[in-house]
Amino acid sequence: MTDRNDRTCEKTGPEARSTSAEPPPHPDRREFLAWLTRGSLVAVSALALGQVARYFSYESAGEAPSVIPVGKPVTFTAGTLTYVGAARAYVGHDSGGLYAIDAVCTHLGCLVEQKIGEGFACPCHGSRFAADGQVQNGPAGKPLRHLALDLNPDGQVVVERSQPVAPEARLGANS
Amino acid sequence: MAHKRPNFFYHLHPPTLPAREARFGYTFGLGGISLLLFLVLGVTGVLEMFIYVPTLADAAESVRQITYLAPFGWLLRNMHYWAGQMMVGAVILHMARVVLSGGYKGRRFNWLIGMALLALTLLLDFTGYVLRWDQDTAWALVTGTNLVNTIPGIGPALYRVLVGGQAVGQATLLRFYAWHVIGLAFAAAVLSTWHSFRVRRDGGISHADPAGRPAPRVGREQLVRTESIAALLTLAVLVGLSIFANAPLGPAADLTVPVAAARAPWFFIWVQELLRGVSPFLAGVLAPLAVLTLLSILPYVFDRRLAGIGEWFNRPGRLAQGVFLVIAALVTALTVRGLLR
């Protein structure tokens, strides 16, 4: 492309006839300037692209609340397992007390569905989990998380989504 | 007699074309049909933008306004939907035609532009699918973006750039909207113009000159006539489909409600099937990239010769055709398995 432009210049430029037969007076200077032009174009584009990437990394909203009230303890009667949408978790009540299982599949984040009988199934890629969240079959590799439960000052049960606990943990009936 | 200046559509073609390859039965007009559908998508898409609202609260509702309240909105949305599905099909068939008839020979760079256009077409269809914002599309979005998260190293950073935050939400819908209506669409418009220009610059449709003497040629008005008929038939099929088959529309997306079954858009069902058995990074990121890479290097690695150009199932291109057909068979088999599930 540079060659073609040069040729056009030589044909139409004011001193076309006198210079066309001779080589350019300072080839190394020309080369240097061409290199400088290309180099600065690349540098400016790279810098601009870097800033565009930073622009894209902007996050407007803060994180979603991680402590979510789900209702009074009495709403979760013994022997039941209830899905609470706001917390995206199943809240259960067994002999030890209340517990919460995260409904977010550990594979790719779909919400698992409670199966008639026992356990959970993921609608997206077919992972199966036992009632305690253990993987029964893949593709998920990790068990469903158990989430910490607590009581807030209003006497409501809260699910703490950012606080996984051991599967044995229970919010005791005495608390 | 005064010289008549050719009209714009004549101007897009060389004055004469090789007779054999200008026939409809050689190309099936698939490249042109893809371009026509892209234009239809542009027009119907802009019209939809006048009602669609890319917010979590209003997206599903505004799709219903287009579908049920706006006069002829149902036809508009159906045409946008069906043109999108037909374009994915036409683009894939166009690629198959070019591989199997040796059309990539001697124009490898245009093959690469075509590969970029294939990727853009799939991304455009996927982002558009998400904008519908019903229960199916929401979970496709969640799994699709979580796949990005599984890329070692840059995954989490890329995820946040894509989603616009810690988790899928309002910022995600807005970003996908911007990508769909202008970011990806503009790139596809530029590349498809370049793609068509390269065909024109390379002397029109790829063809062979039989031993020594140049192939018989026809005037471009013949090709323009064939193209017009193909365009009218394509539009007839599109409008027919749009009148008799409604674009899917499920209950509004709610990311706190589990669903009984979530299915990927049809052209990604093969990925969803792979994900059922293979690790997410391998199945959802590496496998699609490997397919795209293998296809891209066909004319660089598997068939570098010019012989057999314009000849269906030409001998020199057997390896390239074989690689393509194996990939196509695997993807089709996985898709069928997913559809039957």
**pLDDT by residue, tens only, chain A of 175 residues:** 444 444 444 444 444 455 556 777 777 888 899 999 999 999 999 999 999 888 888 887 666 778 888 888 888 888 788 888 888 888 888 888 888 888 899 888 888 988 877 888 888 888 888 888 888 887 888 888 888 888 888 888 888 888 888 888 787 754 4
Measured in angstroms, the CA of B335 and the nearest CA of chain A are apart by 14
pTM: 0.87
pLDDT tens readout for residues B132-176: 998 888 888 999 999 998 899 898 889 988 988 888 888 899 999
Please choose, from the candidates B52, B172, B47, B198, the residue with its C-alpha nearest in 3D space to the C-alpha of residue B116.
Answer: B198
Q: Kindly tell me if the per-residue pLDDT of B57 is higher than 60.
A: yes
Residue A156 domain flag: yes
Q: Is the ipTM of this structure higher than 0.85?
A: no
Question: Residue A88 maps to which CATH number?
Answer: 2.102.10.10
Put simply, whether B280 touches A (Cβ < 8 Å) is yes
- Kindly report the average pLDDT of chain B as a whole number: 90
Q: Of residues B307 and A18, which shows the higher confidence score?
A: B307
Could you tell me which of B133, B143, B172, B170 has the C-alpha nearest to residue B251? B133
Q: What is the pLDDT of residue B237?
A: 97
DSSP code at position A93 = E
The parent domain of residue A133 ranges over 67-165
Among residues B120, B100, B144, the alpha carbon closest in space to that of B193 is found at B120
Domains of chain B: 13-339 (1.20.810.10)
Q: A102 in a domain, yes or no?
A: yes
Mean pLDDT computed over B68-88: 96
Put simply, the answer to whether A64 touches B166 (Cβ < 8 Å) is yes
| Residue of chain B nearest A54, judged by CA positions | B161
Determine the Cα–Cα distance for residues A74 and A82; give it in Å rounded to an integer: 12
Radius of gyration of chain A (CA): 34
CA pair distance A36, A40, nearest whole angstrom:
6
More confident residue, B302 or A138: B302
Total structural domains in chain A? 1
| Residue A37 domain-assigned (yes or no) | no
Planar angle of CA B18, B90, B107, nearest 5 degrees: 45
pLDDT in tens, B314-332: 888 899 999 999 999 999 9
Is A10 within the bounds of a domain?
no
Contact B272 A125 (CB under 8 A): yes
pLDDT at residue A36, rounded to an integer: 94
Distance from CA of A124 to the nearest CA of B (A): 5
CA–CA distance from B126 to each of B18, B63, B137 (Å)?
38, 17, 9
| A103 near B CB under 8 A | yes
Q: Is residue A118 part of a domain?
A: yes
With contacts defined as CB-CB under 8 Å, which chain A residues touch B169? 61, 64
Q: How far apart are CA A143 and CA A95, in angstroms?
A: 22
Q: Is residue A49 in a domain?
A: no
Name which residue leads in pLDDT, B6 or B98: B98
Establish if A53 touches chain B: CB-CB under 8 angstroms: yes
Say if A86 falls within a structural domain. yes
Residue A112 lies in a domain: yes
